[in-house]
Amino acid sequence: MTKPDTDLIIAGGGLAGATLALALARMVPSLRVTVVEAFPLSPDALPESYQPSYDARSTALAWGSRLIFEELGLWQRLAEHATPIEHIHVSDRGHFGATRLHAAEHGQAALGYVADNRWMGLCLMRELLDTNVQWRAPAEVTDMTPIPGGVRVQLSEEGEETAELTARCLVVADGGRSGLRERLGFRPDRHSYGQNALIANVSTSDSHGFTAFERFTDAGPMALLPHGSPTRAGHQSALVWTLSDEVLQQVLALPDDEKCRWLQDRFGWRLGRFTRIGTCHHYPLTLTTVDEPVRPGVALVGNAAHALHPVAGQGFNLALRGLMTLVEQFRLAEEQGRSIGDIEVLKRYQALHREDWQQTVRFSDSLVRLFGHSMLPVAAARDAGLVGLDLLPGAKRWFARKAMGLGGRRAMIERPGNLNREAPANE
Ligand SMILES: Cc1cc2nc3c(=O)[nH]c(=O)nc-3n(C[C@H](O)[C@H](O)[C@H](O)COP(=O)(O)OP(=O)(O)OC[C@H]3O[C@@H](n4cnc5c(N)ncnc54)[C@H](O)[C@@H]3O)c2cc1C
């Protein structure tokens, strides 16, 4: 191929695609990167209308993700509106089991942080303004053809096939809903949980005390994440509640004061009285994984590669670790004079990230299955498990490391400069 139009095309400028673009601008500045995004995003504005990544959700960022954002020079800005999680409380409604994690026990300021997706989008866009990353938006990647030394990518703008771009490599970060992955021949494994995540901001009469609550209820698992000022423990939490289709419709039909009562009955009084519930949004939940997320000249990242149940707040944290593994392989390829679309380069990314995504999927999925069960023996085993976690320091440390996103250790350690960057684990 003569000189391609760009070195790398990223299909999708959501959380995964935009973070990848920023990481490449910082760590492999020799690469020319073009982001193609279906929504009218630009580095200096986010649309007011719904955008699949930068919407009303909040994301629980693990401690490990903070370390990555620090490395990208993004953390200082992000931290302005990121609420620390100093404690995690896991409990089961109507049963005695509970476990508690405290940041101080792990020698850290926080176990993780909660940031609004919209705020993360604004921070990413502002940082990208000062880079040489190119944006095409609104535009969609509709197809790709392999060509010698790279790929030819078809774009469509306002529904019209408009342009072709050549590149050494295409990274698919479209979230998996646009069908691009399937059009390129990837075969995802899909399992529908038959459940939805209902999200809303809620106010409570007691302060959250920087505690994230995971509670397993007869209606489904719920998370209440501390939200609001990063310095003053306030009275607002972000609710993520997993509900069946039927129960979701029942809850949505209730007036707000009854929604609060419903919530109160199932969550209890650890946060005092629920005084307000904001606008509710909901998302159908599936587990989607792609066993082989690479082809010559193409790699999948983020939700396009693996979309998880949000109960353990792991999806984006896992994506972030995968992105950094890919960036490191691109950096090495550049250093060694190899093409970034070379299948050996991409297979190395696949091999290094594999154990992490498989373990994280197992961790999230087993929580859903274990805590989705109301059968007595399973409930008893689960409660024994929660008590056991609380009493056994080894088990609790394992759980805490998962929650803090300190999996994927091999991938992290292989990155230069990261040797001493893991949180002290007191092991
Ligand atoms: C309710 C809920 C709560 C969650 N909470 C957490 C949490 O607490 N912690 C955590 O770590 N994770 C959490 N997650 C997971 C997290 O939100 C996802 O991992 C993350 O949004 C994935 O981002 P993405 O960029 O891969 O995909 P998306 O967010 O779907 O973004 C894809 C982007 O690609 C664009 N696009 C689509 N098709 C094309 C195309 N053909 N061409 C160009 N552009 C295209 C879209 O417009 C969009 O901007 C949660 C998920 C849900 C549903």
Question: Would you say residue 349 lies in a domain?
Answer: yes
Contact 86, 112 (CB under 8 A): no
Q: Is residue 350 part of a domain?
A: yes
Residue 69 domain-assigned (yes or no)? yes
Residue 40 lies in a domain: yes
CA–CA separation, 362 vs 359, rounded Å?
A: 5
Q: What angle do CA 149, 153, 154 make, to 5 degrees?
A: 155
Ligand 1 centroid – CA 190 distance (Å): 16
Assess if residue 114 is contained within a domain.
yes
Number of the ligand 1 atom closest to the C-alpha atom of 285? 53
CA 106 to ligand 1 centroid distance, Å: 30
Query: Which atom of ligand 1 lies closest to the CA of 240?
Result: 1
**Ligand 1 atom with minimal separation from the 140 CA:** 42
What's the total number of domains in the chain?
Answer: 1
Residue 415, classified by CB atoms within 10 Å of its CB into exposed (0-12), middle (13-18) or buried (19+), is: middle
- Protein residue with least CA distance to atom 15, ligand 1: 315
CATH of the domain at 147: 3.50.50.60
Name the token pair of 226.
Answer: 């501390």
Tokens 């999200």: give the residue. 199
pLDDT in tens, 293-342: 999 999 999 999 999 988 778 899 999 999 999 999 999 999 999 999 99
DSSP 57-105: -EEEEEHHHHHHHHHTT-HHHHHTT-EEE-EEEEEETTSS-EEEEEGGG
Q: Which atom of ligand 1 is nearest to the CA of 18?
A: 25
The closest residue, in CA terms, to atom 47 on ligand 1 is 38
Q: Using CA atoms, how far apart are residues 76 and 176, in angstroms rounded to an integer?
A: 30
Q: Name the strand (E) or helix (H) holding 191.
A: strand 189-204
Question: Which pairs with CB-CB distance under 8 Å and at least 24 residues apart come from 389-393?
Answer: 389/90, 389/99, 390/98, 390/99, 390/100
- What atom in ligand 1 is closest to the CA of residue 39? 47
Q: Is 35 strand, coil or helix?
A: strand
Res 410: pLDDT: 40
Res 299: pLDDT: 98
Mutate to test the pocket of ligand 1, among 41, 59, 165 (most ligand atoms within 8 A of CB): 59
User: Is residue 388 exposed (0-12), middle (13-18) or buried (19+ Cβ within 10 Å)?
Assistant: middle
Pocket test for ligand 1, best of 53, 135, 288, 356 (most atoms within 8 A of CB): 53
Predicted pLDDT at 95? 59
Range of the domain at 311: 8-191+286-413
Q: Which residues contact 90 (CB under 8 A, 6 or more apart)?
A: 98, 99, 100, 213, 214, 215, 386, 389
pLDDT at 412: 40
Return the sign of the alpha-carbon dihedral for residues 136, 318, 24, 9.
negative
Instruction: Give the residue ranges of the chain where pLDDT is below 70.
Output: 1, 42-50, 93-97, 370-427
Round to whole Å and give the CA distance between 115 and 362. Answer: 25
Tell which residue, 89, 116, 91, 92, has the closest CA to residue 103. 89
What residue owns the CA closest to ligand 1's atom 49?
Answer: 14
Cα 11 to ligand 1 centroid, rounded to whole Å: 13
pLDDT value of residue 270? 93
Distance 288 CA to ligand 1 centre (A): 13
pLDDT reported for residue 383 = 53
Residue of minimum CA distance from atom 53 in ligand 1? 283
* Residue in 78, 120, 303 to alter for ligand 1 test, most ligand atoms within 8 A of Cβ: 303
Residue 44: per-residue pLDDT:
62
Query: How much distance in Å is there from the Cα of 392 to the middle of ligand 1?
Result: 36
Residue with CA nearest ligand 1 atom 40: 140
CA of 289 to the centre of ligand 1 (A): 14
State the distance from the centre of ligand 1 to the C-alpha of 53, rounded, in angstroms: 5
User: Ligand 1 pocket: which residues have CB below 6 Å?
Assistant: 11-17, 36-39, 52-53, 57, 59-60, 140-141, 173-175, 178, 180, 197, 199, 240, 283, 302-303, 310, 313-317, 319
206 CA from centroid of ligand 1 (Å):
32
The answer to the question of residue 181 being in a domain is yes
pLDDT of residue 322: 97
Query: Strand, helix or coil at 343?
Result: helix
Query: Is residue 263, in this structure, part of any structural domain at all?
Result: no
Q: 């950096």: which residue's tokens? A: 331
The answer to whether residues 216 and 369 touch, using CB atoms and an 8 Å cutoff, is no
Cross-strand pairs, 156: 140, 161
Fill in the amino acid letter for 126.
R
Nearest to 226 by CA among 83, 101, 55: 83
Nearest to 57 by CA among 278, 320, 307, 253: 278
Does residue 252 sit within a domain? no
- On whether the CB atoms of residues 52 and 211 are closer than 8 A, the answer is no
Cβ–Cβ < 8 Å for 77, 51? no
Ligand 1 center from residue 16 Cα (angstroms):
7
Q: What was the pLDDT predicted at 333?
A: 98
